[in-house]
């Protein structure tokens, strides 16, 4: 591997980092972009460890792989919690409770009573 291939990997890493900072539309997009960033970082450290024949850098790749798996699982759990909370709020808003309708229209009812 030549140095130009390593520069390409660094450029791809920076582009994915910029993509996270600039163009995040959903939580899933953020999670997948962050996972791609971890994969690029993993490949980059694997190449550097292979070029310099350094066992410490090669062991760092496995640490990065474990760290990316932990980050991905925490992201999935947070997305699940976010979905549960959002769904429970929507279910609460869509109920046909008479108390809720009374509170919603009580001001109009009181105003109409004062007119008559």
Give the pLDDT confidence of 18-37 residue by residue, as tens digits: 776 776 677 777 787 778 87
97 backbone φψ class: left, alpha, beta (φ>0; ψ -120 to 50): beta
How many C-beta neighbours within 10 Å does residue 42 have? 18
Give the mean model confidence (pLDDT) for residues 71-77.
86
CATH (domain of 43):
1.10.287
| Number of domains composing the chain | 1
**DSSP-assigned letter for residue 30:** H
Give the mean model confidence (pLDDT) for residues 54-78.
84
Give the mean model confidence (pLDDT) for residues 45-65.
82
Residues of the domain holding 109: 3-115
Residue 1, class by beta-carbon neighbours within 10 Å (0-12 exposed, 13-18 middle, 19+ buried)? exposed
CA atoms of 101 and 91, how far apart (whole Å) = 15
**What is the SS3 assignment for 57?**
helix
């Amino acid at each position: 591997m030549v140095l130009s291939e390593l520069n390409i990997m660094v450029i791809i890493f920076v582009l994915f980092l910029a993509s996270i900072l600039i163009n995040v539309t959903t939580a899933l997009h953020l999670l997948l972009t962050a996972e791609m960033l971890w994969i690029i970082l993993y490949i980059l450290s694997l190449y550097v460890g292979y070029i310099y024949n350094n066992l410490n850098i090669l062991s760092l790749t496995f640490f990065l792989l474990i760290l990316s798996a932990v980050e991905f699982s925490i992201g999935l759990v947070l997305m699940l919690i976010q979905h549960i909370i959002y769904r429970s709020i929507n279910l609460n808003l869509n109920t046909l409770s008479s108390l809720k309708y009374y509170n919603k229209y009580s001001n109009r009812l009181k105003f109409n009573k004062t007119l008559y």
